[in-house]
């Protein structure tokens, strides 16, 4: 039971601060996807950060492997904003923006949008947290398959979407089963 009002976002970055330089942005809305890699050489080092700890972490993962042509930071953010606004303009209800967690992905994106003078394409109150859903599923002992995190922004966003959809489906089935028993 995929939810048609959910966009799932994931970032790969060079820092964990809200000022982090973005390596890649992945997003999905149902089967529709968005993926862009960012040219980190084009960042203003005064306003956007990278940390040696994060670089070291990437080195232990084998480094970030670029798979597509990189875009200027402004261009990448503008493309994301346009993609989300296009989906939003076709919908009847507001889009939920899911991230793993909004205090990371959404905070970094909102900093970028503000710095680059691009309006954030979602209101703050539509942000949702995949980690909260994971914690609730664990506490409720729902048997939900987890997915490997390959540190590819698009694949991670797809995995988030699959996980949240599985939780919704499992809860709906249990609710239906409970009603049938009454």
Q: How confident is the model at residue 114 (pLDDT cuts 50, 70, 90)?
A: very high
- 158, 98 Cβ separation under 8 angstroms: no
pLDDT surpasses 60 at 42: yes
Tell me the per-residue pLDDT of 23-41, one tens digit each, with 9 for 90 and over: 999 999 999 999 999 999 9
Half-sphere exposure (CA, 13 Å, Cβ side) for 62? 5
Domain ranges of the chain: 6-181
Class of domain 6-181: alpha beta
pTM check: above 0.85: yes
Within the chain, strands assigned E span 6-13, 22-29, 32-38, 70-71, 96-99, 127-129
State residue 105 phi and psi, 5-degree precision.
Answer: -60, -55
Tell me: the pLDDT tens digits for 122-144? 999 999 999 999 999 888 888 88
Both structure tokens of 41: 């050489």
C-alpha 166, offset from chain centre: 17
């Amino acid at each position: 039971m995929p939810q048609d009002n959910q966009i799932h976002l994931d970032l790969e970055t060079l820092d964990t601060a809200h000022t982090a330089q973005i390596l890649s942005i992945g997003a999905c809305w149902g089967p529709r996807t968005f993926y862009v890699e960012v040219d980190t050489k084009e960042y203003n080092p005064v306003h956007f950060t990278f940390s040696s700890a994060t670089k070291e972490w990437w080195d232990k993962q084998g480094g970030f492997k670029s798979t597509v042509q990189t875009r200027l930071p402004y261009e990448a953010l503008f493309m994301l904003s346009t993609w989300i606004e296009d989906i939003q303009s076709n919908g009847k209800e507001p889009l939920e923006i899911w991230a793993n967690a909004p205090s990371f992905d959404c905070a970094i994106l909102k900093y970028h949008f503000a710095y680059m003078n691009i309006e954030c394409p979602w209101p703050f109150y539509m942000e949702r947290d995949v980690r909260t859903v994971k914690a609730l599923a664990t506490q409720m002992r729902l048997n939900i398959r987890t997915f490997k995190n390959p540190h590819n922004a698009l694949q991670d966003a797809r995995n988030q979407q699959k996980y949240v959809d599985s939780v919704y489906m499992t809860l709906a089935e249990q609710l239906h089963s409970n009603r049938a028993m009454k």
